[in-house]
Homo-oligomer: A and B are copies of this chain.
Amino acid sequence: MGEFDLIARHFRRPVKHAVLGGGDDCALIAPGAGMQLAVSSDMLVEGRHFLSTVDPARLGHKALAVNLSDLAACGARPVAFTLALSLPRAEDAWLERFAQGLYALADAHGCELIGGDTTQGPLNLCITVFGEVPAGQALLRSGARAGDDVYVSGTLGAARAALEVFRGTLSLPEPALAIARERMEQPTPRVALGQALRGVASAALDLSDGLLGDLGHVLAASRVGARIEAERVLGCFGLRGAGPLPALGDSQRLECVMAGGDDYELAFTAPPQARAAVEAAARAASTPVQRIGCIEAEPGLRVVQADGTPLAQRFQSFDHFA
């Protein structure tokens, strides 16, 4: 038995819900009656999606979190995942920490590791995640209609601020840096909110590459436009309560919330008559949501000031470590 078979043992636990877990050629899963299976794959590469210095436990958390965030965006309940892992070498301590972070998040969501692959090579993590959603009830990007409100969950921009600190272009005092770093390395997938929004939201997606760019996907899929209020989005800035941050003026904050990446919050739309239902869903999921604008028939995304005039600032969407 080789080194990498031994490694794989870190990731072998009996399955509780799947019909058959790891150790055979395939795992077997059976969605419940009337359920569809939501499937998403994300690949994380060292130097592009994470730094080599990251705590392996946080990396294990994040690798699964970004996938669970996709399930959340569809309103699916997490069920299972596969993990394919390429590692330069077998370091038992690293793997133990990685598995700890991975399993802690998986267990919190009742999401089982059912199989995968381990091989030698440059560090690369590929997770494919499976969730259940009642047939026809998945939240899609294509359902936004003119007149709908536009919302985001939680807070935005802190992960981008942390990235700028690591890039050396920004300096943050503690505890703002700790908050920012936590947001970058340990994102919280909005799994409960996604499920609570089934039947309420008209469209949804998760924010991985920045609000402006990602919201653009909803607009394109729904063939609509949107008007976003800069003040309201600024109100979602993740370091707002972290004390005075002289290095982060309004334009930098706007850059972070509008074009930052790695937020893993949900952006979603819902008709105005659903506002009470949206608030109820947010309460049920213990996740704050903020209304930031509205969907319009005219294509394009317009960011406006409080007085309705267009914002002059231009943003560059987040492109990881490019």
Contacts and interface: CB of A to CB of B under 8 A. Distances in A.
Given A31-B31, A119-B48, A124-B121, A86 B43 contact: yes
Nearest to A131: B26
Nearest to A39: B27
Contact of A41 (B20, B73, B124, B128): B128
B40 A86 contact: no
Contacts of A93: none
A211 interface: no
Interface in A30-71: 30-31, 35-43, 45-49, 70-71
A84 B39 contact: no
Nearest to A2: B319
B37 A31 contact: yes
A228 interface: no
Interface stretch (A133-141, A164-172, A283-291): A133-141
A24 interface: yes
Contact of A45 (B80, B119, B130, B204): B119
A138 B26 contact: yes
A175 interface: no
Interface string A254-265: 000000000000
Copies per complex?
2
Interface in A131-177: 131, 133, 135, 138, 140-142
A191 B90 CA distance: 34
A43 B119 contact: yes
B73 A26 contact: yes
A225 interface: no
Nearest to A3: B322
B24 A28 contact: no
B25 A206 contact: yes
Interface in A281-322: 319, 322
A45 B86 contact: yes
A94 to B, nearest CB: 18
A23 interface: yes
